[in-house]
């Protein structure tokens, strides 16, 4: 009898483990929110609707998703990129959307409402208890373009309907094209092109959802779909479905009320993973330059390495290519299938902006080809000279009307925030400006600094809201940084502080000879020294040379005409001299 009881208990435990949830929470929660936003590329006011939706999303991370629906009609052009879908058209018709932009918030209304009502309705939904929770994963195979989608629904309460409806949508980001009124949303408007985000591309379930039941407290429902991701969606002038920029949202709606199923009880974004049938398959994603205080051409970059193969990754050989330069490096370790790791590399980048490519050359000792593009920026830095070991600066922020959107910080080379300021008071009157002066004292010399200014409105401190700008002065009142206010969400500038007063007694200036000045092809330096360095006027070190003796000759044949700074070092004691090249 005891043996029989143990077997039954084991079977019950097995049954429970099979039915136990993997992705969804069983804890009661409030509703997340889906906004189905009816929009179009020739709609003048639609970008302002996008701004409203983006602000709601920023205020409620991981709880709000906007689905931008383009459908047939006057405001939805069929030129490239044609974002219209028949499925989107059926949703628009179901909610009687005749003006743009308009939308439905968790399908809480029978008809679409204007953008002015979205925030209020979303807040109401955020505060309501949800009858169910959702969670799941979409496993995308880049070779076959198949997505294996698993969604779990767990009922923490009872639905008022015996049957509910599960809907899964595929959205796509970063589709570039035209947009009337695009400048009203500067965060997505660059050089006359608009970055269209969270666009409805397809619905994996039935348009109004697949039936799920039962809908009573404690019920766990698991649904699995195999979806073949199209290469292109839209006709004519269809848009390529970029696997790197798609994501999936799922929601449960309660019942049919007229044409649509509504209201939405809860929603989630599915975790997207990439997986392959091949044993060795590393991929690179999220390559980005690290913005830090670095007064040199050496810049840091971060990226994500993901193993989508079936075997563990133990080594990967890379190279990074920027502006004709190549930097090779290797990673070793143990990265299981399906896992990813954050990694970094550094390389010299020329001044200005460039495009680079990070390439995989070899994985687990075998040749492999994969690459990911990235953008680089190497900003020239200002040089501030001071007479002591510390100095002070003044930061002038000429704010626009919306001062509460503006903040700034000053960061040293150790990535420490040494000063910060803002937000400021909003101003009365459209287009008003006001100067805010910030004193920063006791900044150590011989250090690099990064000044970063932020605007939470993503439109800088300029343009329609006042002609703002910012600049920085040294202790002598000299302006060494000046920039306009048109910087979007963030602007940044580099500068270094260098001390001029280092032990003149030990390296007597009278005994140091630098000639000829102006120089032509050679510069002679005589005096006690262990090394010399030559900098240009923006602080770039052009030459560094160790000296054994009391004299050295510097070859200037590759130097352009101009002013240069010579730093003569004698065991840590430094004298600086300016010289010019004039041929």
Q: What is the pLDDT of residue 19?
A: 55
CATH topology of domain 509-581: Immunoglobulin-like (2.60.40)
Compute the average pLDDT of residues 374-380.
90
Q: Percent helix, strand and coil across the chain, each rounded to 5?
A: 10, 50, 40
Class of domain 382-499: mainly beta
Residue-range domain boundaries for the chain: 19-274, 282-377, 382-499, 509-581
pLDDT band (50, 70, 90) for residue 9: very low
pLDDT bracket for residue 539 (50, 70, 90): low
Q: What is the pLDDT of residue 538?
A: 54
Model pLDDT, residue 542: 87
pLDDT at residue 506, rounded to an integer: 40
* Burial (CB count <10 Å: 0-12, 13-18, 19+), residue 153: buried
Whether residue 503 is predicted with pLDDT greater than 50 in this model: the reply is: no
Residue 64 has pLDDT above 50, yes or no: yes
What is residue 250's predicted lDDT score, i.e. its pLDDT?
Answer: 98
**Do the domains spanning 19-274 and 509-581 agree at the CATH topology level?**
yes
Structure tokens at 463: 């343009």
Rounded mean pLDDT of 237-258? 96
Asked whether the predicted pLDDT for residue 502 surpasses 50, the reply is no
> Is it the case that residue 524 has pLDDT exceeding 60?
yes
Q: CA 42 → CA 39, 113, 149, 200, 544, distances in Å?
A: 9, 19, 34, 17, 58
Q: Which of 16 and 150 is assigned the larger pLDDT?
A: 150
pLDDT at 488 over 70: yes
Helices (H) and strands (E) in the chain, counts: 4, 41
Architecture of domain 19-274: Sandwich (2.60)
pLDDT of residue 504: 40
- Return the SS3 of 305: strand
Q: Which tokens hold the place of 166?
A: 């599960």
- pLDDT higher at 211 or 349: 211
Nearest to 130 by CA among 166, 93, 155, 107: 155
pLDDT in tens, 75-102: 888 999 999 999 999 999 999 999 999 9
List phi, psi (to 5°) of 119. -60, -45
* 254 has pLDDT over 90: yes
Q: Write down the architecture of domain 282-377 according to CATH.
A: Sandwich (2.60)
Q: Is pLDDT at 10 greater than 50 in this prediction? A: no
Give me the pLDDT at residue 510, please: 57
Asked if pLDDT for residue 38 goes beyond 70, the answer is yes
The dihedral region occupied by 145, where left means phi > 0, alpha psi between -120 and 50, and beta the remainder, is left
The lowest-confidence range among 19-33, 71-85, 536-550 is 536-550
pLDDT band per the 50, 70, 90 thresholds, residue 5: very low
What mean pLDDT comes out for the span 416-431? 93
Q: What is the pLDDT of residue 509?
A: 54
- Distance, CA of 453 to CA of 420 (rounded, Å): 9
pLDDT digit string, tens, across residues 293-333: 988 888 999 999 999 999 999 999 999 999 889 999 999 99
Question: Is the confidence at residue 8, as pLDDT, over 50?
Answer: no
Q: Give yes or no for a contact between 83 and 196, defined as CB atoms under 8 angstroms apart.
A: yes
pLDDT(12) > 60: no
> Which has the minimum average pLDDT: 14-18, 222-226, 320-324, 487-491?
14-18
State pLDDT tens for residues 203-215: 999 999 999 999 9
Does the pLDDT value for residue 259 go beyond 70?
A: yes
Query: In sequence order, what are the beta bridge partners of 567?
Result: 533, 576
Mean pLDDT of the chain: 90
- Six token digits for residue 431: 């287009």
């Amino acid at each position: 009898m005891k043996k029989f009881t143990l077997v039954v208990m084991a079977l019950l435990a097995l049954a429970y483990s099979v039915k136990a949830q993997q992705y969804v929470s069983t804890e009661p929660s409030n509703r997340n929110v889906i906004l189905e936003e009816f929009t179009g590329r020739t709609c003048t006011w639609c970008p302002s609707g996008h701004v409203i939706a983006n602000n709601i999303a920023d205020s409620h991370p991981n709880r709000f998703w906007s689905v931008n629906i383009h459908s047939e009609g006057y405001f939805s052009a069929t030129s490239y990129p044609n974002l219209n879908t028949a499925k989107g058209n059926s949703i628009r018709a179901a909610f009687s959307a005749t003006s743009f932009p308009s939308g439905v918030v968790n399908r809480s209304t029978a008809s679409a409402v204007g953008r002015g009502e979205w925030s209020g309705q979303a807040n109401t939904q955020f505060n309501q208890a949800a009858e169910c929770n959702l969670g799941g994963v979409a496993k995308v195979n880049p070779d076959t373009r198949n997505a294996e989608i698993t969604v779990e629904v767990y009922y923490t309460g009872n639905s008022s309907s015996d049957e509910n409806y599960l809907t899964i949508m595929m959205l796509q980001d970063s589709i570039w094209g035209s947009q009337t009124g695009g400048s009203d949303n500067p965060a997505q408007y660059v050089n006359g092109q608009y970055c269209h985000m969270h666009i409805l591309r397809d619905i994996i379930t039935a348009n109004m959802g697949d039936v799920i039941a039962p809908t009573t407290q404690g019920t766990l429902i698991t649904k699995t779909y195999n979806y073949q991701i199209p290469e292109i969606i839209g006709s004519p002038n269809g848009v390529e479905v970029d696997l790197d920029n798609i994501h999936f949202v799922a929601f449960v709606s309660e019942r049919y009320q007229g044409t649509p199923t509504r209201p939405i009880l809860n929603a989630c974004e599915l975790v997207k993973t990439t997986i392959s049938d091949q044993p060795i398959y590393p991929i690179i994603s999220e390559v980005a330059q690290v913005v830090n205080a670095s007064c040199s051409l050496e810049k840091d970059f971060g990226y994500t390495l993901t193993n989508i193969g079936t075997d563990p990754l133990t080594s990967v050989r890379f190279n990074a290519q920027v502006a004709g330069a190549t930097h090779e490096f290797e990673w070793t370790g143990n990265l299981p299938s399906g896992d990813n790791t954050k990694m970094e590399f550094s390389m010299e980048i020329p001044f200005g902006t460039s495009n680079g490519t990070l390439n995989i050359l070899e994985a687990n000792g075998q040749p492999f080809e994969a690459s990911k593009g990235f953008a680089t920026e190497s900003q020239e830095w200002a040089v501030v000279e001071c007479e002591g070991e510390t100095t002070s600066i003044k930061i002038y922020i000429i704010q626009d009307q919306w001062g509460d959107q503006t903040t700034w910080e000053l960061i040293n080379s150790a990535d420490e925030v040494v000063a910060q300021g803002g937000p400021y008071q909003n101003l009365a009157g459209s287009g008003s400006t006001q100067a805010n002066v910030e004193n920063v004292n006791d900044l150590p010399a011989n250090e690099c600094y990064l000044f970063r200014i932020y605007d939470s409105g993503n439109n800088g401190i300029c343009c329609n809201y006042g002609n703002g700008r910012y600049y920085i002065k040294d202790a002598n009142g000299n302006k060494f940084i000046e920039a306009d206010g048109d910087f979007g969400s963030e602007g940044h500038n580099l500068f270094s502080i260098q001390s001029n007063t280092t032990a003149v007694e030990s390296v007597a200036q009278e005994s140091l000879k630098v000639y000829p000045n102006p120089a032509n092809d050679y510069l002679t330096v005589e005096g006690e020294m262990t090394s010399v360095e030559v900098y240009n006027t923006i602080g770039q070190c052009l030459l560094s040379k160790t000296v054994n003796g009391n004299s050295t000759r510097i070859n200037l044949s590759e130097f352009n005409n101009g002013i240069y700074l010579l730093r003569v070092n004698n065991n840590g004691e430094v004298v600086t001299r300016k010289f010019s090249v004039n041929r």
